[in-house]
Structure 1
Amino acid sequence: METIRKCAPTKAILIGEHFVVHGEKAIAMPAKPLNRAILQEKGKESSLRIIGKTGEAIFEAGGKTSGQKVLHSFGQIYFAILKRKGIKQHKGIAITLKYSGAPKGMGNSASLACAAAKALCGYFKIKPTNAELFSLVQLSEKIAHSNPSGIDAKTIVEGKAQVFQRGKGKKPARFQAIRINLPKECSFLAINSAKNKPPAKTSLLVEKFSRLVKSAEGKKATAEYRRIFTSFLREIKKKSPNPKTLGELMNENHSLLRAGGVSSASIEKAIAILARQPSVYGAKLTGAGGEGGAVLALASKKEEGNIRRALAKSGLKSYHL
């Protein structure tokens, strides 16, 4: 019985969430929490079974789909590969998805889709280019998120940091792969603020932040963000970035996001704990935010263990990026 194991990184937005929806630039990087897909030959002939954390879905080569709706997006990858190869019959296969536990807002859906696409391509003897793999992941993302920007898929598929700007009208989104450098003595941590609470809906958070952008304070906030973005990009591209400068810019970015109403009590609690640690240079929400959202912190490598223990005492899980 053939078994194929594939993995894909998650992603973290370093700066620019929500502002990017309104045409501003953002920076994202691939992150170490890896999601995995394990493909095995088993099950009904000419079908794919996706086994997730809380259920499963079955896709038949003829086009029939059944099972948990949250997993239906993976069927788009399967059907696209069958069409490309002209396959109508094959041995039954199943893919078990192994979720890393990375917090909401770190591109888990795109990461799992990428791992599954790699496994399916491997099984059907396809060697996809990055562009082809990106297209497959986006097929899944369009079902999962309706109108995905592509930043998650691009960052995860290429495994490189990206400067991203959403397209306007018929103009496509713009991606630019960049090399970023962390201060040698620092690392990024991602913190899950959820503590078993249901996460806030991204669409509602986007709508809430849009009200700030459209308000009288919107132009001022956007101009301030542009200054923060320009300074952050310039600093993180240096050979030896200044951790205090990066941390201060992260804090300033978070203040704008908080003013836009997309932070939450759980995120602010995590940031308050981090602020009490002298070896944390800065922290901000990453992703959409809201209740149960993720926090990104720039911290000293030497003190990372102490920082993570302080978070754990309050029931907060953290991940080294």
Structure 2
Amino acid sequence: MATTVIDDGLPVAVPDSGSPLRTQRSGENRAGWLLSAPFIVFYLIFLIGPALYGILMSFFNTTSVKSGLGAAVGLANYREVLTSSAFWGSMGHTLWFTVLTTPPLVILAFVFAILAERIRRGRALVRFIFFAPFVMPVTSVTMIFGWLFTAQIGLFPKWLSDIGISPPNFLGTTGWSFITVALLTVWWTVGFNFVLFLAGLQEIPTEVYEAAAIDGSTPRKTMWSITMPLLRPTIVLVTMLQILASLQIFNQMYLMTGGGPGTSTRPVMEFIYDYGFSDYRAGYAAAATMVYFVIVLVVSLVWFVLRRQTRKTVGA
């Protein structure tokens, strides 16, 4: 049975605890929790659990070759990380890679999405061509680019030699190594941002463009006055997601250059890998991971604030 209460002078029916509506909602909640239970269990076991254990390890002299946490060292691992020139050097490499890859991955994806949206025939094929590299495994991608850029036997070095130009060592010098891996990353991952921009463009009502055309708006003016403002939330989303993805660079850099020559291209993730699995200092690597996690968390919070401000601006 439902009871009646007075709200602002008006009678409102409130279902009792035993009403069919509340019973139905309770049953739906239980069903939702039961369906989510397998994911929650795996999430706790394989993500939250290791993360908590990693925090615990960072306060101990844990090694990868012995069981147990080892001797407690307090904040010594964190002090060593924060004063390590090698850690901050790898942080600089990661930031430089982020600077090299984020602008082209955002701008090219946006331009490709605009062009693909305007194609009348073969639109599905064009979308497939841009997105196809993204589904390739990193090992295949690095093999392709290794075949293209490896000194002396690579396609590009041999081609440059044939036309009388001394080829640079694309994978053996610091500057060229960053550029080569950045090119690999742009070709490999631009399809993901391309799809996000396509989704954003499809959310813009066609009536808006039709009204602009009736008013005599030029394509350039339509782009800056309609498309860009309405696509601003997607631009912010893609930019911040790309920054976070570039900050986590590891696979392609490790497979293409191994962090070399020396450690001149070693990113933070490879720094953590080297200390944790090559030097067997798991506790120190865990502390470096936590420091880097805080840095990425700050970037994520900045993205969250910018996204909220963008939503308010668009809503206004």
With the shorter chain as reference, the TM-score category is under 0.3
Structure (1 or 2) with the greater helix fraction: 2
| The structure with more strand, counted as a fraction of residues | 1
TM-score by length of 2: 0.24
TM-score between the two structures when normalised by the length of structure 1: 0.23
**Bigger Rg, which one:** 2
